[in-house]
Structure 1
Amino acid sequence: MNTNPYEILSDESSFYGDEEETNRLEALVASFDPEPYWGEHHQRLLSTRQYNLKAPTMSSDISMKDASPSPSPTGPPQDRRGRTESVDHFLSRLPPSTTKLTPSRPWIWMHNRNIPSKEGDVPTLLRKGHELLQEYENESVIIREANDKSGGKMAPLKRALKPIRAELEKNLLALARETGVTHGKWMLFPTVDQVDECWGTVVRAMEKGELGDAAKVAPNDGSGESRLICVYTADFGDAEDVKRVVKKMSEIGLLGKGARPIYYKSDVYTLLEITSKNAYGLKASMFSSLNVLRK
């Protein structure tokens, strides 16, 4: 009996390799989510950086470490608020509903100028993080093979995978702290007709020092889909600050009405492209607004 949820090819087909290789490839396909790729990974590619160097009038923010970029030679930066720019001018100059997505402007940024922003050692996080994920995959293959030989039932398999998955989660968060990549973000998904108002509320609250150290919104990609707004906190482990920010977001009307929650995700999971349909069985988000606000 085949119990692998990612196995969809027939047993007779060997075009894509043996069973182990097929399972691995299917897991990778199932876990891929283009949104974090374009939002986080794409802007770090060498080709994107090269494009940015050829576009001197565009500000190429590829991290959060530069909280106060210098204006471009022809005017204010094209992906964030200028150093001396008023909030009203910034919002009217770069409304997310109509500001187009470009390779050098994957996001529109707002930084809290009173809080120094830090990025941490991202290269080390990526290297060691992928090593941890690979170690989990290697262990899980051994456990799955043993389970298949003993009858292939799902309940014993889940029990066997649970402790190594918990260890993986603990190690990834410890690595994030070790490398200083401790940012996390509350994620909002306003519709196109609501995104300008929602973003304006975020920006004005940040200007007053009521939220975290940074926020970003996705520009217009022409899809007409809901936009992503991320409201950052500096440390996913600072439970009080995480709660303070989402409580303020609720007070100023960003959470909307009803019981639908929003979710908080650590940057370590975003950078390692651990999405809601990841092959490791990890829960992609750390907190929901409903659970945090109940405490």
Structure 2
Amino acid sequence: MGEVEFVGGDGWISDDSSFYGDEDSKQQLEQISTQCNVSQKNNLNTLIEKSKTRSKKMEQLELSHPGQGRHDSWHLFESAEEFVKRVPPLTTSIQICDWIWVHKPNLNPHGAMSAPSNEMRLMSCGQELLASSIAKRSEIKSGKVKQMVTKQLNVEAKLLEQQITDLAVEMNVLHGKWMLFPEVDAVTRVWRVIVDAVINGKLGPTAKVAPDDGTNKARLICIYTNDFRDKEDVLRVLRQLVSLGVVNPQRNIYYKTDVNTILGIYGGTASNYGLQASLYSSQKMLADAQVHQSNATASSQAGPHFKKRKISS
């Protein structure tokens, strides 16, 4: 390859040529340069202030959850696999802990707290409601006309149900849970899936599993939602459980409110008050949601309907 020849600059640009332009051009460029420097400095100061503000806000936030540091609870930055190995539901004795917990981690401002619940007062007031309802039902049952008795008992049950709901709202005891009962040989696998989903924000705020009680009975796993009145969220969690493969949509599971648990309203006692122990069933909730979706789809496909106006002659 031959030597590259460069064109000489002689005669093209002299020391006296106006490479930066004439005097007016120079002044204009210098003014623009000064403005840019000031603008860049202002922008930099703005970014620094924003960074300081952001840092202060982050200092006021911390990743936390109610069970942090407890042996029976998942710890921050612990994987689901590590937690299940540390506190295995299959072999952890009920003598060590009543439940094994996982809580969703949250970023909360220092000092910010949700409204406290009052379970003790709820229990006291709730027991009064139940006792009053039992007395009322006994009075109704003494009636002569069977049809009237049945109707009045149903009315009393509906009234009690609403009173319990109102009490739960007043005392801020709004949590409820979907209940799973995996067999002993499946509890570890199912619990690991639930733990992973909770800590990654796919389910509700918390879940718990019963430890080993010395029997081979199916273990109870509760998957909580924040508010039993929020049917959309309850349905969302149910659908996620189906998607995770831990709930068979062809088999029923049930959702129970914490208020019913606290008041001792179980399957064997609920009928004494004309109540149901659980609030929702999975099959009915999924079926109702499917019907609602089908109706919404049909309505959107049909388009707007216009009434024909009769034109009088």
TM over 0.5: yes
Q: Distance between the aligned counterparts of 2:187 and 2:238, measured in 1?
A: 18
Match of 1:68 in 2: 66
Could you tell me how far 1:84 is from its partner in structure 2?
A: 4.2
Could you tell me how far 1:70 is from its partner in structure 2?
A: 5.0
> Is 1:170 paired with 2:162?
yes
Match of 2:204 in 1: 212
Match of 1:228 in 2: 220
Q: Percent identity?
A: 39
List aligned pairs for 1:56-135, cutoff 5 A. 67-71=65-69, 77-102=70-95, 105-114=97-106, 120-135=117-132
Match of 1:222, SS state, is: coil
Q: How many residues align?
A: 218
Distance 1:191 1:286, change over 3 A: same
Match of 1:192 in 2: 184
Could you tell me how far 1:108 is from its partner in structure 2?
A: 0.2
Q: Distance between the aligned counterparts of 1:270 and 1:118, measured in 2?
A: 20
String of CA shifts for 1:175-208, please: whole Å, max 9, x gaps.
1011100000000000000000000110111121
Q: Distance between the aligned counterparts of 1:166 and 1:248, measured in 2?
A: 31
Match of 2:48 in 1: none
> Is 1:265 paired with 2:235?
no
Q: Unmatched 5+ residue regions in structure 1?
A: 1-65, 72-76
Q: Distance between the aligned counterparts of 1:110 and 1:271, measured in 2?
A: 21
Q: Distance between the aligned counterparts of 1:115 and 1:190, measured in 2?
A: 32
Q: Distance between the aligned counterparts of 1:124 and 1:118, measured in 2?
A: 15
Could you tell me how far 1:88 is from its partner in structure 2?
A: 1.9
Match of 1:138 in 2: 135
> Normalising to structure 1: TM-score of the pair?
0.70
On the 8 A contact 1:68/1:83 being kept in 2, the answer is no
Q: Distance between the aligned counterparts of 1:97 and 1:259, measured in 2?
A: 27
> Is 1:284 paired with 2:284?
no
String of CA shifts for 1:195-230, please: whole Å, max 9, x gaps.
000001101111211000000000000110000000
Larger radius of gyration: 2
Could you tell me how far 1:94 is from its partner in structure 2?
A: 1.1
Q: Distance between the aligned counterparts of 2:76 and 2:227, measured in 1?
A: 25
String of CA shifts for 1:133-160, please: whole Å, max 9, x gaps.
1110111121122x2xx27x5x543222
Q: Distance between the aligned counterparts of 2:193 and 2:77, measured in 1?
A: 20
Match of 2:255, SS state, is: strand
Q: Distance between the aligned counterparts of 1:199 and 1:100, measured in 2?
A: 16
Q: Distance between the aligned counterparts of 2:115 and 2:86, measured in 1?
A: 27
Q: Distance between the aligned counterparts of 1:84 and 1:254, measured in 2?
A: 24
Higher relative contact order (CA 8 A, sep 6+): 1
Match of 1:198, SS state, is: helix
On the 8 A contact 1:186/1:231 being kept in 2, the answer is yes
Distance 1:144 1:115, change over 3 A: farther
Q: Distance between the aligned counterparts of 1:135 and 1:165, measured in 2?
A: 12
RMSD: 1.9
